[in-house]
Amino acid sequence: MKLLITGGKILDPSQGLEKIADLLIEDGRIAEIGNDLSSQGAAVFAASGLLVAPGFIDLHVHLREPGEEYKETIATGLQAAVAGGFTSVCSMPNTTPVNDNASITRYILDQARQANLANVFPVGAITRGSLGEELAEMAEMKAAGAVAVSDDGKPVMNAQVMRHAMEYARDHDLVVADHCQDNCLAACGVMHEGKYSTLLGLKGMSGAAEDSHVARDIMLAELTGARAHIMHISTARAVELVRDAKRRGLPVTCEVTPHHLALTDAEVLGFDANTKMNPPLRSEEDRLALIEACADGTIDAIATDHAPHHADEKMLEFDRAPFGVIGLETALGACFKVLVESGAVSVMRLVEMLTVGAARVFALPRGTLQKGAIADLTIFNPDAVWTVDPVKFKSKSRNTPFANWTLRGKVIATFVAGREVYRAEE
Amino acid sequence: MEFKLKAQVMDAAGISRTLSRLALQIVERNAGTSDLLLIGIRRRGVPLAERLADTIAQLEGQRPPTGQLDITLYRDDLSTVGPRPVINKTEIPGDVTDRAIVLVDDVLYTGRTIRAALDELVDFGRPRRVELAVLIDRGHRELPIQADYVGKHLQTSDAEIVKVMLTDYDEDEQVVIVEKE
Amino acid sequence: MTKFTRKDLLGIRELSVEEINTILDTAHSFKEVSARSIKKVPTLRGKTVINFFFEASTRTRTSFEIAGKRLSADTINISASTSSVTKGETLIDTARNLEAMAPDVIVIRHSSPGVPHQLARLIDSSVVNAGDGAHEHPSQALLDAYTIRERKGRIAGLQIAIIGDITHSRVARSNVHLLTKLGAHVRVAGPRTLLPPRFAEIVEDGEGSLTVCAKVEDAILDADVVMMLRIQHERMSAAYFPSLKEYSIRYGLTLERFALASQEAIVMHPGPVNRGVEISSDVVDNARSLILDQVTNGVAVRMAILFLLMQSRGLGEG
């Protein structure tokens, strides 16, 4: 089985490659990159005018299965993933039941194999039931295929439990990914605390609730030597803390979502629950700091925090509606518009955060076009401008804050291990 | 909206003469002024009522009390007409019960304004008698209402508008027939 | 000719000065109706007003009910506990159920900010916000402004102190928007735990100004109007302040503190009053206390709101 992708601009941050060339895939792996490669015996994909990058990797996705299949299934979530150019997604453990043991991990992987689209790398829970008390069976989950541990959505509030989690995770070479939020300080807030929460009379979560928790995790990473990953970082101060930790050589990484890069708390003014997520949309000052952190390398990865919810749930009162928005199918377009079109970062840097940058965080064997690597590819048109129509989403849910936005950068085709899993409609 | 002037019906002196005649008829039919109460319908009925009261004062040596009605809240077309000026106050001195009331308006047309005024008036009490005085009766009634005192009857078409202009509100003092351009 | 063409009255923030003045002027005419022996005009005969209250309220609900009845509208009260919504009734279901009753106006109070706005987008009836969480309470601010204007003859240039729990107060927010739009200089004060962050920034336009004062005394000094806010007893358990006694001593309006205001200062309170907590009894019963005038004027202002919305509906159909 051979596939020749001709005339595209190859963009591979893992080897600093940015040139127009042909790319040959054999038996699901990258065979060669070069000029005028022979197409003999190969299917041909003409990619001139397009960018050819390693398949995108999303460290933070809620596939909702098992337990909340009315919001999303692993199959529909993966259809959304490949439509958004993602060839690998890391599934968060806050399913029902929680992915806190190897049998759930195996179930998720079985469903992913049946869907046969993007790769799924499960993230297991830190604590049993994500209750923040007893450690989950991390080593067993790792043996079953988990790549990291996290109690996403339910921050581990007890610092001593977190310390033990980090020490134990280090023994088993697992990254501890944390949703950083001091729940007491966040005080049941439903949006960022600032001018707009005051204006709207909605309970606010102060940036300090995130900052103090990030500071704690950095200190615990230093204390334990474990690798700590700060998920969906959203404040200027938290970015500074991570920047400083990296400068000191601590094993700390972080990710940012497209919506935190594109939107601010001013979006909440219309009481649309599709602007409600956790962490909340922050201030413009925070947003600009996140963009700067993308540019200077503080941010390791773009992660969508794809969080499907049924329309009925989002139609509740703003303060009762669940947190979260979907993001797989708008990530590239939103990031391209906010980061690249604005001139803040290069296409190369954006692709780095979507590929090898993300792969390094959880040590995933993906994110590169080096010879012999598994041929996960995303081919996209950086100039295509399109309007977001939620009805067209492959995801089962429609809860996007980008409805009717005009985005730039469109996925044309997605390949997993050399096999075409998505092709845009003409 | 532009209007085309079609005819002048009364000038200032004509209005004054007509009001004198109406005043005389009112005191004649009411045999004096003892129970009399003149109530002008906003807006132009109000100065007309005041002027009638002034004239009656000259004739009888005693000025009948006056009041004013704003019928906005009693209209039957709230949901079909355009935005109006802010509604004004209704002011009626004392109790209307057992008084002889003369409602005063500038133009009698469909009769709907008078219907609303009567409805509003009876919410204030039970007058002994209610009469109606108008400067112009232009016909086209939609309700069984007639005036007791009429300054002038006019034959008009529906397209025409009768404008009573009084110096209290307008630059000129006259009655004209105009038509929408 | 003043125009009021809104479908809904959701908040003060989005109103223009002209719209505010139209409501206040219209209310002035309706006050006269309430003074008649027959306190009823046929204006809204055959129209239906539903008072849909998800939160306990006697004063506001009764005021809207009387306002509707004096205009001859059929007013229906529905009290719902928010728990029925927690059971899974979405706002769409709530909206459809309301629409099925074909009301012309829905007056809604809800503990969640934004519910009137969300409903207004979903239904054709006019929606009046009678208080949404800590967000807005436009009819209260309008009746407060009416009361101030009636007594002081103006609002522009007045020094107005608003004291107490600003964080949880929709009355404070709506009043700040309204009074600053009309040119008043508003000063707020209260315990720092009950002052929301960046409060001074919520004023975006208007001739007036908004100042957050560090001390209650600073806000009251030389004020023309002192507006006290109700303290909810449950705030104590959430560690906003140590005790009602300490609150009353440090932040309550006593005669001594009231004496710091201008000689003709008036005192207002949206009610219900906690005598001896945020305001002492001798201030409540003071001749310069307009707390009952506020209640009286509330009916006239709400009549004006119902009237103008209904008139505006007519415009849309015509």
Distance between CA A70 and CA A312 in Å, rounded?
11
pLDDT over threshold 70, residue A145: yes
B 23-82 residues with CB below 8 A of C?
Answer: 70, 72-75, 78-82
Structure tokens belonging to residue A423:
């092709």
Contact A382, A51 (CB under 8 A): yes
Q: How far is B20 from chain C (nearest CA, A)?
A: 33
Distance between CA A214 and CA A228 in Å, rounded?
10
Contacts of B73 in chain C (CB under 8 A): 33, 41-43, 71, 307
Contact A118, A80 (CB under 8 A): no
Confidence of residue A388 (pLDDT cuts 50, 70, 90): very high
Site of tokens 């033990």: A164
Q: Under an 8 A CB cutoff, do A201 and C135 touch?
A: yes
**Residue C80 one-letter amino acid:** A
Q: What is the mean pLDDT of chain A?
A: 97
Q: Under an 8 A CB cutoff, do C135 and A316 touch?
A: no
Q: DSSP state, A24? A: E
pLDDT of A403-419, one tens digit each? 999 999 999 999 999 99
- In order of start, what are the domains of chain C with their CATH numbers? 17-133+295-317 (3.40.50.1370), 138-293 (3.40.50.1370)
Q: How far is B120 from chain C (nearest CA, A)?
A: 8
Residue C174: per-residue pLDDT: 98
Distance between CA A301 and CA A296 in Å, rounded?
12
CA distances, B141 to each of A54, A193, B109, B146 (Å): 84, 65, 6, 9
- More confident position, C303 or A39: C303
Pick the CATH number of A55-361 from 3.40.50.150, 3.40.50.140, 3.40.50.720, 3.20.20.140: 3.20.20.140
Distance between CA B105 and CA B85 in Å, rounded?
18
Q: Under an 8 A CB cutoff, do C310 and B119 touch?
A: no
Confidence of residue A374 (pLDDT cuts 50, 70, 90): very high
Antiparallel, parallel or unpaired: β B3-10 and B174-180: antiparallel
pLDDT over threshold 80, residue B181: no
pLDDT of A274-308, one tens digit each? 999 999 999 999 999 999 999 999 999 999 999 99
Distance between CA C72 and CA C306 in Å, rounded?
11
Q: Under an 8 A CB cutoff, do A198 and C91 touch?
A: no
What does the buried/exposed string (b/e) look like for A70-103 if buried means 16 or more CB atoms within 10 Å of the residue's CB?
Answer: ebbbbbbbbbbbbbbbbbbbbbbbbbeebbbbbe
pLDDT of C78-108, one tens digit each? 887 755 555 567 777 888 888 888 999 999 9
Distance between CA A406 and CA B146 in Å, rounded?
67
Contact A319, A190 (CB under 8 A): yes
Kindly write down the DSSP assignment for every residue of A296-326, as one continuous string. Answer: HT---EE---B----HHHHTS-TTTSPP-B-
Angle at A242 between CA A238 and CA A246, to 5 degrees: 170
The pTM of the full predicted model, rounded to 2 decimals, is 0.91
Q: Interface pTM (ipTM) of the complex?
A: 0.93
Annotated catalytic residue, options A296, A305, A376, A383: A305
pLDDT over threshold 80, residue C262: yes
Contacts of C112 in chain A (CB under 8 A): 317-320
Q: Under an 8 A CB cutoff, do C2 and B87 touch?
A: no
Size of interface A-C (CB pairs under 8 A): 68
Q: What is the CA radius of gyration of chain B?
A: 16
pLDDT over threshold 50, residue C1: no
Distance between CA C311 and CA C306 in Å, rounded?
9
Domain ranges within chain B, ordered by starting residue: 3-74+88-180
pLDDT-wise least confident of C78-87, C181-190, C289-298? C78-87
Q: What is the mean pLDDT of chain C?
A: 92
Distance between CA A335 and CA A350 in Å, rounded?
8
Select from B78, B91, B96, B97 the residue whose CB has the most chain C CBs within 10 Å, as the one to mutate to test that interface: B78
pLDDT of A220-261, one tens digit each? 999 999 999 999 999 999 999 999 999 999 999 999 999 999
Q: Helices C59-70 and C138-152, interaxial angle, to 10°?
A: 80
Structure tokens belonging to residue B60:
């009888």
Antiparallel, parallel or unpaired: β A43-46 and A301-302: unpaired
Domain ranges within chain A, ordered by starting residue: 55-361
pLDDT of B109-127, one tens digit each? 999 999 999 999 998 899 9
CA distances, A158 to each of A36, A127, A152, A183 (Å): 59, 11, 15, 11
pLDDT-wise least confident of A107-116, A138-147, B33-42? B33-42
Three-state SS for C191?
coil
Distance between CA A123 and CA A404 in Å, rounded?
33
For the residues C282-297, what does the mean pLDDT come to?
A: 95
For the residues A90-113, what does the mean pLDDT come to?
A: 98
Kindly write down the DSSP assignment for every residue of A167-230, as one continuous string. Answer: HHHHHTT-EEEE----HHHHTT-SEESSHHHHHHTPPEE-HHHHHHHHHHHHHHHHHH---EEE
Residues 6+ apart with CB under 8 A from B32: B60
For C238, the closest chain A residue by CA position comes to A187
Chains C and B touch (3+ CB pairs under 8 A): yes
CA distances, C100 to each of A119, C85, C97, C300 (Å): 49, 18, 5, 29
Q: DSSP state, C56? A: -
For C4, the closest chain B residue by CA position comes to B83
Q: Is A208 left (phi over 0), alpha (psi -120 to 50) or beta?
A: alpha
Residue C318: per-residue pLDDT: 35
Q: What is the CA radius of gyration of chain A?
A: 20
pLDDT of A157-206, one tens digit each? 999 999 999 999 999 999 999 999 999 999 999 999 999 999 999 999 99
With contact defined as 3+ CB pairs under 8 Å, the chains touching C are A, B
Residue C88: per-residue pLDDT: 60
Chain length of chain B? 181
pLDDT over threshold 60, residue B13: yes
Distance between CA C275 and CA C288 in Å, rounded?
16
Residue C2: per-residue pLDDT: 57
Distance between CA A100 and CA A128 in Å, rounded?
6
Residue B34: per-residue pLDDT: 84
Q: Under an 8 A CB cutoff, do B81 and C32 touch?
A: no
Contact B161, B180 (CB under 8 A): yes
pLDDT over threshold 50, residue C316: no
A184, burial (CB in 10 Å: exposed 0-12, middle 13-18, buried 19+)? exposed
Residue C317: per-residue pLDDT: 44
Architecture of domain B3-74+88-180: 3-Layer(aba) Sandwich (3.40)
Site of tokens 């908040």: C11
Contact A10, A52 (CB under 8 A): yes
Contact A337, A407 (CB under 8 A): yes
pLDDT of A56-88, one tens digit each? 999 999 999 999 999 999 999 999 999 999 999
Confidence of residue B78 (pLDDT cuts 50, 70, 90): low
pLDDT of C95-153, one tens digit each? 888 888 899 999 999 999 999 999 999 999 999 999 999 999 999 999 999 999 999 99
Q: What is the mean pLDDT of chain B?
A: 90
Contact C70, C299 (CB under 8 A): yes
For the residues C164-169, what does the mean pLDDT come to?
A: 96
Residue C195: per-residue pLDDT: 96
Distance between CA A60 and CA A258 in Å, rounded?
12
CA distances, A267 to each of A134, A192, A260 (Å): 39, 11, 11
Residues 6+ apart with CB under 8 A from A247: none
Q: Under an 8 A CB cutoff, do C41 and B81 touch?
A: no
The strand ranges marked E within chain C are 48-53, 74-79, 105-110, 126-132, 159-163, 185-189, 209-212, 225-228, 266-268
CA distances, A336 to each of A98, A368, A385, A410, C33 (Å): 34, 20, 10, 9, 63
A 242-271 residues with CB below 8 A of C?
Answer: 270-271
pLDDT of C200-245, one tens digit each? 999 988 889 999 999 999 999 999 999 999 998 776 667 899 999 9
- More confident position, B94 or B136: B136
Residue C107: per-residue pLDDT: 97
Residue C93: per-residue pLDDT: 83
pLDDT over threshold 70, residue A116: yes
Residue A305 designated active-site: yes
Residues 6+ apart with CB under 8 A from A394: A76, A79, A80, A83, A329
Distance between CA A316 and CA A296 in Å, rounded?
40
